Amino acid sequence: MEPNWKHFISRMLSLGLNREQIQIIGQTDLPFSLQQEHIIRSLLKEIRQKNEDSLRRDLSSIDYVVIDSETTGFFPDKGDEIISLSAVKITNGKISPTVFFTYLSPTHPIPTKIRELTGIDEKVIAHAPKIEEVIQEFLTFIGQSWIVGFHINHDLTFLNDFLLKNYQSKIDRSVFEIQQVLQVVIPNHMLKSLDEALDYYSIPIYQRHHALDDSIMIANLWLKILEECKKKGIITLFDLYSRIYSISK
């Protein structure tokens, strides 16, 4: 057994897998890298929460929820807040007509640049609820669906900052970052923004920086990407995880 494979086995055992489960990951026939541990952890999560068969689930059979938000800045730890929040579900390959959307009332004034970018000002949020008034409804709405988003870490950072501070908890769901998946279906792409990705797939762009409209556009984008995955023979969760791992090693 080669040294790298020995290290791989040792590392996987330390993360909680048994040798039978390691064989599933070993099917990718790819070298292990500590820098790609987050990919392995995603596989681990699937195995632990459900079972090995879940990795063979067809991507088109999964329930997804697209999350998007508008915020007053980039740093919740420095006082920036969510001022609108949206979630759109995709079930059986179709966008659900039932959506979640709300404006949120922040504790600090909205910066001028954010007002100009989003169209959200004090008049819009005059009767908006506080985030603590709607967070339970939001979490119930997203349920156990797989989360999808464009720059989704931004949205989850704000949501988890609030949840950790107030409930010592956080959103713990499987997540797909669209930019990461785009690298699989369009290798070496230069689609850095949502506008560029929407334009590439000929998805009409309307009212950008409105959380609900962005969520609907992102949902349509995700459906296009799933179609492209199928054309490339990426059918199951295992197929997609393997491709993501191979391009990020």
Three-state secondary-structure class, residue 218: helix
Instruction: Classify residue 247: in a domain, yes or no.
Output: no
Does residue 118 share a domain with residue 34? Answer: no
154 contact partners, CB below 8 Å, separation of at least 6: 69, 71, 74
Does residue 158 share a domain with residue 36? Answer: no
Instruction: Classify residue 243: in a domain, yes or no.
Output: no
Q: What is the pLDDT of residue 248?
A: 60
Q: What is the pLDDT of residue 46?
A: 54
The answer to whether 145 and 89 are in contact (CB under 8 A) is: yes
The answer to whether 120 and 128 are in contact (CB under 8 A) is: no
Instruction: Classify residue 246: in a domain, yes or no.
Output: no
Does residue 200 share a domain with residue 153? Answer: yes
The H-assigned helical ranges of 79-202 are 112-118, 131-142, 152-167, 178-185, 194-200
Residue 34 main-chain phi, psi, to 5 deg: -60, -30
> How many CB atoms within 10 Å of residue 187?
9
Instruction: Classify residue 249: in a domain, yes or no.
Output: no
Residue 108 in tokens: 């600090």
Does residue 72 share a domain with residue 23? Answer: no
Does residue 140 share a domain with residue 31? Answer: no
| 115-119, long-range: CB < 8 A, 24+ apart | 117/209, 118/70, 118/83, 118/84, 118/209, 118/210, 119/209, 119/210
Question: Low-confidence residues of the chain, pLDDT below 50?
Answer: 1-3, 28-36, 47, 51
E strands, the chain, in order? 64-71, 82-91, 94-103, 146-149, 175-177
Does residue 204 share a domain with residue 98? Answer: yes
Does residue 8 share a domain with residue 88? Answer: no
Does residue 83 share a domain with residue 198? Answer: yes
Does residue 47 share a domain with residue 74? Answer: no
Task: Look up the pTM and report it.
Answer: 0.79
Number of domains in the chain: 2
The answer to whether 90 and 96 are in contact (CB under 8 A) is: yes
Q: What is the pLDDT of residue 35?
A: 41
Does residue 84 share a domain with residue 16? Answer: no
Residue 28 main-chain phi, psi, to 5 deg: -70, -20
Residue 107 in tokens: 């504790």
Does residue 83 share a domain with residue 9? Answer: no
Does residue 159 share a domain with residue 128? Answer: yes
The answer to whether 104 and 122 are in contact (CB under 8 A) is: no
Q: Domain holding 152: CATH number? A: 3.30.420.10
The answer to whether 175 and 48 are in contact (CB under 8 A) is: no
Instruction: Classify residue 95: in a domain, yes or no.
Output: yes
* Domain containing residue 162: 59-231
Instruction: Classify residue 103: in a domain, yes or no.
Output: yes
Q: What is the pLDDT of residue 190?
A: 87
Instruction: Classify residue 166: in a domain, yes or no.
Output: yes
Interatomic CA distance for residues 140 and 138, integer angstroms: 5
